[in-house]
Structure formats: structure tokens, C-alpha cells
Chains A and B, each alone.
Chain A
Amino acid sequence: MIRLFKVKEKQKEEAGNANGRGPLKKQSAGELRLHKDISELNLPKSCTISFPNGKDDLMNFEVSIKPDEGYYMGGKFLFTFNVSATYPHEAPKVKCKTKVYHPNIDLEGNICLNILREDWKPVLNINTIVYGLYHLLTEPNHEDPLNQEAAAVLRDNPKAFKSNVRTAIGGGRVGDTYFARCI
């Protein structure tokens, strides 16, 4: 039990006793956990991370992935991460900034990756997500489509899909959509 009536004396004391401590900036538990994740990052050479707001804002960062195999080999894809103070209770919000022709990424950059939404667990970390994204680029799958047309082409005609991807990442039109060059 707490001896609350010390506050009585304390209040009297404080009247004459200016507290010299400056305002303290707090760090949320989420920020600390993210600090751990970032300091332990172990990314393959094909992935680079950057911090647009400098070294003291780890909550917003970008990861660029340049797959060295698969359909998207040679392309460079930028993902933004936004991490909330309740991380890792809540998954980071990840978007793909590079417009990409991909069955599981739509043209607004929404990503269908299970660990970003329904299968997120606090034991997962930033490294897991980056590997998940890398995997999504090397192994696109037509079963969880966000870009339905791309998914249909991948399912029915992988050769045409491959050529569409090459067109898109080289800078060009697939159907009605123009994709900027990202090689």
C-alpha cells in the first residue's frame, strides 16, 4: 500500500523547492523495440534501408529491394514503413512506392502479404517483413490477387506475364497502365 499522505508534506516542500530537472522526452516501448529490430537487421545485399528523417526517427523508414532472381530481377522497388507506438502489438504499415505490375501489389501500392495483416505476430520483426517482401517479388502468386489482371496472366500464361513484367520495369505500358522505369 502506498503512503499517499507524503504528498501533503511533498506539496509543501515543493512550494520552495524548484525542481531543476528539464522536461524529459519519452521513448515509447514501441520505439525501443523497433530500435532493437533495426540494430539487429541482417539484410541481404539486394536490400537497402534508409531513414529520410535522420538517425533519430526510426519509426519511418524506406527499404529498397532489388531482386537478384525471378521475374523482377534487376528492378528496384521502394517500400515505405510506418511503425506505430504500439509496435509490435500492431504490424508496421508498409506500402510499395514504386508502381509495379504484380499480382499481389495493387497500383496504389497496397500489398497482400499475410504477415502484414492477418498473420502478424509480435514475435515477428522488421527483418521478417523485408524477407517477406523479397519473397513476394521473387515468387509472385496468383492465388492472393490484388491486381487481378496480372494474377490472371501469371496463372494462364506465365510467359506473357514474364514479358509484361519486363515491359513494366523497363518503363512502358501494360494494358492501359503506364509503369515508370525502375531498373
Chain B
Amino acid sequence: MSSTLKLDELISQDYKHGFYTEVETDSVPRGLSEDVIRQISAKKGEPDFMLEWRLAAYRHWLTMSEPHWATVHHPPIDYQDISYYAAPKSRKDGPQSLDDVDPELRRTYEKLGVPLEERALLAGVAVDAVFDSVSVATTFKEKLAGLGIVFCSFSEAVREYPELVRQYLGSVVPYTDNFFASLNSAVFSDGSFCYIPPGVRCPMELSTYFRINARNTGQFERTLIIADKGAYVSYLEGCTAPMRDENQLHAAVVELIALEDAQIKYATVQNWYPGDKEGRGGIYNFVTKRGDCRGDNSKISWTQVETGSAITWKYPSVILQGDNAVGEFYSVALTNHYQQADTGTKMVHLGKNTRSTILSKGISAGHGQNAYRGLVKVAKSAVGARNYSQCDSLLLGDRCGAHTFPYIEVKNPTARVEHEASTSRIGEDQLFYCQSRGIAPEDAVSMIVNGFCKEVFKELPMEFAVEAQKLLGVSLEGSIG
């Protein structure tokens, strides 16, 4: 057997989270129209301002066309063949606690290795689980409420905290931003909302699990996180999805707002169904994530581990408005089989002495295509701005591809921008070398991949690093010395 075959075998392990949960769903008919939007809004009991915002977004969306500048390819999406709302039936009675949650749902999470209650209790993580489009479980709310922290589903926030929502919704990603963000604004079903009041340090990692389940249901999550002056919050988002045949559209929007001296850390482990070995099925993940360092000395960090989806199209960005603001982007993106990823970040320097760091690690295997696309923009006002970017690519086998598209626009002469890039390959000679030292080839691959990713994994909270390790199907490198 040649080592190429061996490599292929190692990297073609089946998607472990491929199962389908039978839960009755309550969907609106397929297709998109103002009626459908009114229906969604009515089902959720939203105030008028929300409906008006959705309709404005929809009308704007009608004037736009699907973007095609990314290095990804997919058949045309029929937006009239998508069901824009599905909620688990159990929600009608409104689960009051975890015990009230549909046992089928709880088993689903358990199969994924995310036993909610254990995780919540043992790890001190508050979990706002999203099953399809509606939150079904929220924990630790009381403890957080004691500190004045609001952490709830987006729907609840719209009803309970309409003023906060009204003030911040769309203030980072306006409904006119881009095709998929506009679509999301019109039809978003649910998501998470978080507000940390001035001076409060959120005592636990906040976490959300997303999951696509009902067939032909687009997922349109919306997340809004606000850290008020001097506040701190670390937010974890992770998701897996069951195996299925047809492609599914996922167009989420995440908005982060950090006011003066505030800090937000946002970490993602993304494992949507990537399609089968021939490239059939899989999720289209077209996401708009953006943070706004609105106040002086504020800081926003994005850390992402992207292993799933047929297509990933995602650029978590930071707008550095406040003076001395800091933006960070740490990313590991893995593409295998026929997966495509076009991902990266945008760092927009507006304030004085703003700093940004970009560290991107792309891993391609099989026929996977991995592109880093990043923009570093330094405005005239950004005196003393600094950026450091590093983009590394790792190739497994010789049928995959890695591409790097760095864009740099500097309008201030005092700015300092550095960019470094590298490409390497896991070779059969490396595997044999490890084997000849007694290390099994799968452990060798995992050792090499983890060695490649360790600078990014270091940025993840401990329990999430474990999750990342699982999702990469490899074990984390132990720390020595």
C-alpha cells in the first residue's frame, strides 16, 4: 500500500455527528415574500419596529444580487425553495428548565458529546442551545442576572429588552451590508443576545450550540453582544449538524460592540456537515461576523476553528474606531474531500495607535480548497496604527489547494503593516520518519497538524480547545517543560 493511500484513509474518516433527530417541526411554507416575513414576526410576537426593520431589509435585499467574488463554486441557490422558519414543537409550551426540554433533543446533544447539564454544571459554562431556529434551553440565567448580565435568546431580547436591541441591532452590520446579511436581517429566526453592563467581568464563558436539523430549512441566526464600558466577556460558539443529502444555506450574522475599555473574546468551533466524500450535500456557510471597537482602549478577539461545511464564506472583522483599540483574528480552517473555504478577516484601523494581529492557519486535504482573504485597511486618521499578519497553509496530499489573498490599504504614513506567509506539506517521508520512531501514522498526522495549529489553539479557552481537538479528529499536543 502506498503512503498516499494511507494518508487518504486517515483523512477520510466519516463524519461522526451524522444522524437525524426526529422532532416534529412547525414550519412556514417554503419561499420568501413580505407575507412570510410578517408571519415569522407574528409567530415570534415581535414589536412593530422589528417587523419594519425586517421588511426594510427584505426590500433592500430584492435590489441586490448574490456575490460571486469568492473562490468558491456552487450550483445556483433557489431562494424560493427554502423554508425560512422551523421551530421544534416543544417550544409551544415553553420549556421552563432543562427537564422540560424534549428528551429527543437532549439525546441529540448527548450524542454530540455535549451533555448540557453536565457541561453547564461542571465546566461553569452557561449554555444557550439553539436547535434549529429557536432556543430550547438556557442555563445559569439567574446567576448572570444577579450581575446585571443579560444572556438570552434573541427573540426573548426583542420582547424583554427592546430598547437595547433597537439601539444596537444593525449598528455594526447594517441590513444593507451584503446580500446574505440583508437576507438574514429580513428572515432571522433566532440567536443569542448578550449585554454586559459597565465594569462587569462576566464570570463564566458564555456558550451556544447551533444545530441544523429540519430538512430544507435555512438557518438564519443572529447574535448581538454588547460589552459596555470596562466590561469583559468571553463567548463560545460551537456547532455540528446531522448528515443529509441536499445543500443547506446558513447565513448568520454576528455583531459585537465593545465600548470604552471593554473586551470581547469570541471563539467558534464550526463543524457543519461538510458533504460526503464525493462532495454531495453539506452546508453552505455564508456568515457575516463583525466587531466594532467603538470605545477607546477596547479589544475584540475572534478565534475560529473551521472544520465543517461544504462551503465556508466568512470574514470575522474588527472595526478599530476607538484610540488604542486592539483587534485580533486567530483562525484554523480545515478543508477535506471537496470542501471549499474562503475565509479571513478585515481589520479596519480608524483610531490612533490601533493595533491588530492576524494569524491564519489553513489545512487542505483530499480535494479541499482553502483560501485566506484578508484586508488590512489603515485610514488617514489612524496615526501610529500597527498590524501583523501571518498566513500559513498546510497541504495533505497533492490534489488540494491553498490560496492567499492579502489586501492592504494604508492611508497613513506612520502605520506599520507586516505580512508573512508560508506553505508546507505533510509528506510521506515525515510520516515514515515518525513511524520509525514508534509513532503510529494517525498519531503522526495529528501531531503535525496540532503542531501547525498550536498558536491558534492557545487562544481558545481550555474546554473549547478540547472540542477543537475532537473536531479536527486529532489529539492536542501536550505541553512540555
Please determine whether chains A and B interact with each other in the same assembly.
Answer: no
Binding site for B on A (CB under 8 A): none
